Every structure is written in C-alpha cells, then in structure tokens.
Structure 1
Amino acid sequence: MDLGKSMGFLKIPIWWFKSSSHRKHGENTQDQVNGMTCKMDALQVSPAGDSPEYIHTDMDLCYAGNIEIAGEASLEDLKMQAMTLLCCQEQIVPLPSFLRAWTVDDSKRPAKLLRNNKQQLNDYKLGARVEICIEPLQKEEHLGPHELLLRVQMGIPGERDYYDSTDLVWDISKECTTWALRQQVASHYCLPVDKIEIAKYFPERFEWLPISSWTQQISKRKRKKKQESLQSAPYHLKDGDIIGVKNLLLDDTKDFSTVRDDVGKEKQRQLVLQKQKSRQAERLHDHVFSEEKLNIKHRKPEVALSINVGVFR
C-alpha cells in the first residue's frame, strides 16, 4: 500500500501545459526553444518512466514535478502548490482561479476536468496513481456543474488543417442536443447556423464524427420528440473535446480530416500489421514445436536386435 495514501496524503505528479488556444502566432525563437526544452525535459524526467509516447505532441507539455498534499486539502490548495514548481513559474499566475486542473488518462491526455476550487481532493476519488495537468488561463474561470468546456477550431479554407482552437463554454442545463450545440458554435463564430458543419474529434483513432446536419432538426415532429443527449453514444461529449467547424460560406468540403490524421492512421495500421505478423510467427513456432514433441512422443523405443542362428552339422 502507498504509505502517503494510507497516511491521508497524496503524492501527485504535476504536468504543466498550454493548449494551442493559448499559443500565439509568431512566437519568438526563445519561446520556441523554451517550449522544446519543456518537451525534452518531460521525455527525460517522465515520472512513470515511460517511453517518449508519454508526451501528447499537440500540446506544449512539461513535467513540473511531484507534490505531496493532504486528501482533505482543496483543489485550490493543489493549484497553489503546483504554482510553486519550477516549470510552472515561467508564467505569472495571479490567482488559482486562472488555472484549470485535469486528471491525465492512460494515453497521457487531459481527461477529467476538476471543478470547484473549494472542494476537497478526497471528494474527487482521484486514486493512488493519479496525475494532474495544470492549464494556465488568460482570465479567471469558475465553471458551474452544468457548463461544458469544448475546444472549437475552424477549418482553414482550401487546406486540410485548422486554425488554433478556442475555448467554448456551453451551458447544457436546458439541453445538450445537436441543434443546441450548432446554435452555440454558430453564435461563437458569428455565422448563420445553416452555414456551418461540425464534427467531434476522436484523437485516439484520428477520426472525426460529423454531428448531424442542421436540416435534420427542422421538422416540428422531430423537435417535439426528446432528442438524445450528445453526452451519450455515439458522441459521448465531455469536457475538453475538440469540435471541428467548417464555414460553408468559404469551404464546402465535408472532409474534416487532416494530414496528421492520415499519418496517425498509417502508423496505427503498420502497428496492427506488425502485431499480426508477430502473432503468426508465434503460432508457427508453437505449431512446429508441437509437431516435434508429437513425433518424439510417438516414436517407438529402440530395442536390441538379436539374431538366432541355427546349428548346422
């Protein structure tokens, strides 16, 4: 059992990151060098001792260090303690409310957004092996229990790429439907709701799932029916999800994928092929080994050969 955990203390690895929405175009060379240094440091000082795949390359991410904190401490206390770590001191943070805290999933991506600065850490049921990443903000944030945080990014017309993402806080207390999200995104970009297409990104699969066309929502009969929540299958919409947006006034393509997705899918395909070949080789080896054992087992034991020769006189 973890001694710190049993004594009511949590030992938590802290990561510090800036998402693409907080990176400015035209960063100076020193900033770029610092960002690369953070990535290299994170590769070398990984708390879990994992491979370089530990780093999510879409973000400037650096391992800041471990903190030890009581389970009775608040989320605000955790943020304040994280602010004292060396890697986190590169940016001035006036208050803990200028920080977001996320748990980190097995793929080393932000997973669950921790809300309510006054809540005790024990209430989050973090577990003994939890890791936390801290995201700096440009302004204070106090998300309510029914506010969903999404990363929305507009497609670049004529290119298979996107502009930097921006944060969209969406109040889902009334409804969390396709129509409501489309209205929210259209309002965010000051576009007509019928002139956008949207899709959710699944980074672990490098795939985009289009969120139904607005024309499917017009029927009054359909509007009367209770629509399925986007938080259920197949979208499973949650905090931190990336929503791709197409401005149909400038870009009528329905392909949300990028070159990076092509590369990612090809790497996954090669990995699957390698695993299949490895399994086939193992099966072949096992088969040959079994045949050899079978041949040895059924081979009759050797016996001495004796010849009786009659006596002729």
Structure 2
Amino acid sequence: MTLPYCQEQIVPLPSFLRAWTVESKRPGKLLRNNKQQLNPHELLLRVQMGIPGERDYYDSTDLVWDISKECTTWALRQRVASHYCLPVDKIEIAKYFPEKFEWLPISSWTQQISKRKRKKKQESLQSAPYHLKDGDIIGVKNLLLDDSKDFSTVRDDVGKEKQRQLALEKKKSRQAERLQNHVFSEEKLSVKHRKPEVALSINVGIFR
C-alpha cells in the first residue's frame, strides 16, 4: 500500500488487491488463501476485445469464471459472451501464448456441437492443448463489427521476427562450433598418425 504505483491508483484497502507471482516479467500464479474471495473452482482470466479494423486490443479486464460445473469451450464462450453482452454466435475467442507470440483459437462456432454430443463429457480447457489457468489472456472478436479471424497483433509480428533471428543466430553458432571441432579433430588425427622423425646418416667412403 506504500508503493507509489498503488497511491496513484487510489487503492483504498489491501482487500481490493490481488497478489500474483511474476514469471517471465508477466503475472504468473494467483496467490490464494483461506480468506480469499475467489473460490478454488473459479478461474481469473484476462479478456480483451479486439479493436475493429485494427490488429490491436482494448485494455484487458478481469473475468471470473466459475468452472465448478464444467470447463469446456461451450461454457467459456457463454461466459465471455455474457460478459460483453453479445450473442454467443457473434464472438470468436482465442488463448494467447505470450512466450510464442501466438494465439490459439478456442473452437470455432462453425464447429457446432449437437445436443446429443454436448451431453457427453467434453475435454476440459485446463488440459492440452489450452492448459487454461489463472491470468491467461483471452482475445475476443466481435463478429458484429469485425469478421476478421486474425487474432495476431503487430507486436506479435515483431516478437516472432526477433525469435526467428535469434534461432538463426544460434543455428549459425552451432554450425561454426561443429566446423571448428571437426577441423580440430582432423588436425589432432593428422598429428597422431605422423611418423616420428628419424636421424638420417650416410656413410661416404674415403677417396684419395
């Protein structure tokens, strides 16, 4: 509460704050305790709406999602649509993987699930490939204003290019190291097989 940032935000009491661990300069695990207002069966996600016509998003907002009944694509779509007061069939959502600068769409509305299949237990979003957890960023597209299915941003393009350049430099470095080791091995082998030098003596007869 004494930090300058908190004073600027006018936080009245510590109970209004949420504490997170920081992993890779980003919020990691949400710290919970016995006095928590968030229950163990609730996920705290960061949802951000895409800006129509732009490859960018409005500021993210916290979304508390009760997963006690189910943690499925259908349930999340309903929760996000309700949060933004939009029809379920007029949104698209995706999870952001910041370490890869990639967005993974969370099902498409075109892949509708029949009522019979919906009764079956669907796979939880907390398992592969989404591994949904507290603090995850969920991008949202309002199809009423923007029919683009591209969730990526310019920042993602820059991040991917940096990763590509870094991977290329590492590859060149490994190739140079392998070449150097090969040359060193060849030189070592050449020295090993070289016969030791022997003094050469020539007897010349005496001619008078």
Shared fold by TM > 0.5? yes
Q: CA 1:87 to 1:195, structure 2 compared with 1: closer, same or farther past 3 Å?
A: closer
**Alpha-carbon distance, 1:235 to partner:** 0.4
**Alpha-carbon distance, 1:177 to partner:** 0.4
**Alpha-carbon distance, 1:310 to partner:** 3.5
Q: Deviations over 1:157-210 (max 9, x none)?
A: 111111111111111111110000000111111111001111000000000000
Report the count of equivalent residues: 208
Q: CA 1:97 to 1:120, structure 2 compared with 1: closer, same or farther past 3 Å?
A: closer
For 1:205 and 1:308, the matched residues in 2 are separated by 79
**Alpha-carbon distance, 1:117 to partner:** 6.0
SS in 2 for 1:100: coil
Q: CA 1:212 to 1:275, structure 2 compared with 1: closer, same or farther past 3 Å?
A: same
Q: Does the 8 A contact of 1:154 with 1:162 survive in 2?
A: yes
Q: Deviations over 1:249-306 (max 9, x none)?
A: 1111111101110000000000000101111111111111111111111111111110
Partner of 1:113: 30
Q: CA 1:119 to 1:258, structure 2 compared with 1: closer, same or farther past 3 Å?
A: closer
Normalising by structure 1, report the TM-score: 0.62
Q: Does the 8 A contact of 1:179 with 1:217 survive in 2?
A: no
SS in 1 for 2:201: coil
SS in 1 for 2:70: coil
SS in 2 for 1:216: coil
For 1:285 and 1:93, the matched residues in 2 are separated by 60
Q: CA 1:87 to 1:151, structure 2 compared with 1: closer, same or farther past 3 Å?
A: closer
Q: CA 1:100 to 1:216, structure 2 compared with 1: closer, same or farther past 3 Å?
A: same
For 2:71 and 2:178, the matched residues in 1 are separated by 49
Q: Does the 8 A contact of 1:97 with 1:117 survive in 2?
A: no
Moved more, 277-286 or 201-210: 277-286
4+ runs of 1 displaced by more than 3 Å?
Answer: 84-92, 117-122, 310-313
For 2:151 and 2:29, the matched residues in 1 are separated by 25
Q: Deviations over 1:12-42 (max 9, x none)?
A: xxxxxxxxxxxxxxxxxxxxxxxxxxxxxxx
For 1:310 and 1:230, the matched residues in 2 are separated by 99
Instruction: Answer with 1 or 2: which has the greater Rg.
Output: 2
Q: CA 1:279 to 1:235, structure 2 compared with 1: closer, same or farther past 3 Å?
A: same
Q: CA 1:158 to 1:277, structure 2 compared with 1: closer, same or farther past 3 Å?
A: same
Moved more, 187-196 or 288-297: 288-297
Q: Select which of 75, 84, 94 maps to 1:180.
A: 75
Q: Deviations over 1:28-69 (max 9, x none)?
A: xxxxxxxxxxxxxxxxxxxxxxxxxxxxxxxxxxxxxxxxxx
**Alpha-carbon distance, 1:312 to partner:** 5.5
For 1:194 and 1:245, the matched residues in 2 are separated by 12
**Alpha-carbon distance, 1:86 to partner:** 5.3
Q: Does the 8 A contact of 1:179 with 1:214 survive in 2?
A: no
**Alpha-carbon distance, 1:216 to partner:** 2.8
For 2:77 and 2:192, the matched residues in 1 are separated by 71
**Alpha-carbon distance, 1:217 to partner:** 3.9
Structure 1 gap ranges (5+): 1-82, 123-144
For 1:269 and 1:164, the matched residues in 2 are separated by 28
For 1:297 and 1:303, the matched residues in 2 are separated by 16
Q: Does the 8 A contact of 1:200 with 1:242 survive in 2?
A: yes
Kindly indicate whether structure 1 or structure 2 has the higher relative contact order, using CA contacts under 8 Å at least 6 residues apart. Answer: 2
**Alpha-carbon distance, 1:87 to partner:** 5.3
Q: CA 1:120 to 1:189, structure 2 compared with 1: closer, same or farther past 3 Å?
A: closer
Partner of 2:96: 201
Q: Does the 8 A contact of 1:182 with 1:214 survive in 2?
A: no
For 2:85 and 2:35, the matched residues in 1 are separated by 35
Moved more, 88-97 or 233-242: 88-97
For 1:84 and 1:245, the matched residues in 2 are separated by 35
Normalising by structure 2, report the TM-score: 0.92
Structure 2 gap ranges (5+): none
Q: CA 1:280 to 1:258, structure 2 compared with 1: closer, same or farther past 3 Å?
A: same
Partner of 1:302: 197
Determine whether 1:233 maps to 2:128.
yes
